[in-house]
């Protein structure tokens, strides 16, 4: 049996991404899509901020992921003040 993970109607996903993005939260995406994702879904969700979308199929080992997110995600996390 094959697995199908395709968004057949992207409009609800794009609408949801726009709503989340409007909150101006720090969003990071680890994209594990193998068949290609919607071209504007992740940029919309991350407010087109650089270094927020990482291709998880190319960067599959933990050391590479750490190096990728160390300059962005981990720095943002360290600056959180509760």
Residue 4 lies in a domain: no
pTM recorded for the entire structure: 0.69
- The tens digit of pLDDT for each residue in 9-41 reads 788 989 999 999 999 988 988 888 776 666 788
Whole domain around residue 68: which residue ranges? 11-78
What domain count does the chain have?
Answer: 1
Residue 5 lies in a domain: no
Residue 49 lies in a domain: yes
Q: Which residues of 17-38 are buried (b: 16+ CB within 10 A; e: fewer)?
A: beeebeeeeebbbebeeeeebe
């Amino acid at each position: 049996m094959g697995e199908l993970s395709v968004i057949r109607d992207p409009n609800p996903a794009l609408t949801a991404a726009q709503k989340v993005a409007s909150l101006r939260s720090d969003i990071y995406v680890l994209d594990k899509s193998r068949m290609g994702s919607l071209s504007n879904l992740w940029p919309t969700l991350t407010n087109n901020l650089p270094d927020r979308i990482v291709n998880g199929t190319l960067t599959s080992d933990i050391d590479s992921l750490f190096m990728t997110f160390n300059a962005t995600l981990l720095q943002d996390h360290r600056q959180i003040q509760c």
